[in-house]
């Protein structure tokens, strides 16, 4: 009883948040999932339970295939691009460099701006006009005598172009993560390896890189979950065009243009599952790791 008295006030203080998270996160995820299992295909429909039918039927829609393929291309280019660029910048700055603060500030500032605002510039930069009508990057390519490109309007690789603004926006963050990782490697460890006759490259390969693995994992999780739910950027650059459709935009269209709640909920469920598959193991792993230390 005394012990209960010791922790009860704490529980009471957190209770509003527990209820809020319970209702708004878990309750609504469940509610959404349940809605996806009904035939509520218009706002006034009653919505009776139909099982997983919507989840299967959506694969009959060409637009769904497109948006899934787009997400895959976008994710690969964005995640690899931001990781490589972020790592490169951190690697170059790792040993300390004059003006480091300025470099960091410049690489990180896109994080402070909304995708909607940067999307406006990138739409201009990646304008698909060519020749006389070329603006943005195509005009620069023209000056340099290089071939112009349709950027995000390219039939096959449009989503790779769409990943460019996302890389620009997020690689500074990844740089900061890696830089913190690099700086977390104790100098004595590197020194010990050097004394054992390792060259700089081997020190890097066998001492530093293995210690960056947790950072790499965090970076992958962050980039991956941003990529799977990408929405603002796509809307700002190209609106609702099919050529750059992704599940989050498709869901928006299903809710507001098609007025089909069950379809919207189905797409939303797929987005949640695609993120949960790798975030849940990661969370359990990192909480366990923290408890061990």
Partner 1 sequence: MTAVAGRHGAAFRWTRFGVLVLFVVVFLVPIYVLLVTSFKPLTEADPGQAWNLPRTWTVEAWRVAWEKLAPGLWNSVLLAVPGSLLSCALGSMNGYVLSKWRFPGADVLFTLFLFGMFIPYQGVMIPLVQLLVRLNELTGLDGVFYGGIPGLVLAHVVYGIPICTLIFRNYYVTIPDQLIEAARVDGAGMLRAYRSVVLPVSGPAIAVVIIWQFTSLWNDFLFAVFLTGPTSWPATVMLNNIAGAQATPYSQQMAAAVLASIPTMVIYVLLGRFFMRGLMAGALKG
Beta carbon nearer to partner 1, 158 or 261: 261
Beta carbon nearer to partner 1, 159 or 223: 223
Q: Which residues contact 229 (CB under 8 A, 6 or more apart)?
A: 248, 271, 275
What distance in Å separates the CA atoms of residue 57 and residue 221, rounded to the nearest whole number?
30
Shortest Cβ 156–partner 1 spacing (Å): 25
Q: ∠68-73-75 over CA atoms, to 5°?
A: 90
- Indicate whether 241 belongs to the interface with partner 1 (CB under 8 A): no
Beta carbon nearer to partner 1, 125 or 193: 125
Report yes or no: 171 and 89 within 8 Å, Cβ to Cβ: yes
Of 136-195, binders to partner 1 (CB under 8 A) are 136, 139-140, 168, 172-173, 176-177, 180
The region of 19-27, 54-62, 150-158, 188-196 touching partner 1 under the rule CB under 8 A is: 19-27
The region of 93-101, 151-159, 188-196, 203-211 touching partner 1 under the rule CB under 8 A is: 93-101
Shortest Cβ 291–partner 1 spacing (Å): 7
- Indicate whether 132 belongs to the interface with partner 1 (CB under 8 A): yes
Of the candidates 177, 184, 165, which has an alpha carbon nearest to the alpha carbon of residue 222? Answer: 177
- Indicate whether 41 belongs to the interface with partner 1 (CB under 8 A): no
Torsion angle of the four alpha carbons 202, 206, 210, 212, in this order, in degrees rounded to the nearest 10: -30
Of 101-120, binders to partner 1 (CB under 8 A) are 102-103, 105-120
The region of 47-55, 74-82, 147-155, 245-253 touching partner 1 under the rule CB under 8 A is: 245-253
Shortest Cβ 228–partner 1 spacing (Å): 7
Q: Which residues contact 228 (CB under 8 A, 6 or more apart)?
A: 71, 75, 247, 271, 274, 275
What distance in Å separates the CA atoms of residue 107 and residue 171, rounded to the nearest whole number?
8
């Amino acid at each position: 009883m005394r012990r209960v008295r010791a922790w009860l006030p704490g529980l009471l203080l957190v209770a509003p948040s527990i209820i809020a998270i319970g209702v708004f996160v878990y309750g609504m995820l469940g509610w959404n999932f349940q809605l996806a299992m009904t035939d509520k295909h218009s706002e006034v429909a009653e919505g009776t339970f139909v099982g997983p039918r919507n989840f299967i039927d959506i694969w009959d829609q060409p637009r769904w295939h497109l948006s899934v393929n787009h997400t895959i291309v976008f994710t690969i280019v964005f995640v690899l691009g931001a990781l490589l660029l972020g790592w490169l910048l951190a690697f170059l700055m790792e040993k300390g460099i004059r003006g480091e603060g300025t470099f960091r500030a410049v690489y990180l500032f896109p994080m402070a701006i909304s995708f909607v605002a940067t999307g406006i510039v990138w739409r201009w930069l990646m304008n698909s006009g060519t020749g006389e009508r070329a603006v943005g990057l195509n005009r620069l390519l023209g000056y340099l005598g290089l071939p112009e490109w349709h950027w995000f309007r390219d039939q096959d690789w449009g989503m790779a172009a769409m990943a460019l603004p996302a890389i620009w926006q997020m690689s500074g963050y990844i740089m900061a993560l890696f830089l913190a990782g690099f700086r977390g490697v104790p100098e004595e460890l590197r020194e010990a390896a050097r004394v054992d006759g390792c060259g700089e490259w081997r020190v890097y390969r066998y001492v530093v890189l293995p210690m960056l693995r947790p950072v790499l994992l965090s970076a992958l999780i962050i980039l991956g979950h941003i990529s799977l739910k990408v929405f603002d950027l796509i809307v700002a650059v190209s609106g609702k065009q099919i050529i750059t459709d992704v599940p989050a935009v498709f869901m928006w269209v299903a809710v507001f243009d098609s007025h089909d709640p069950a379809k919207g909920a189905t797409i939303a469920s797929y987005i949640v599952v695609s993120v949960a598959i790798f975030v849940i193991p990661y969370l359990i792993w990192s909480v366990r790791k923290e408890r061990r230390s």
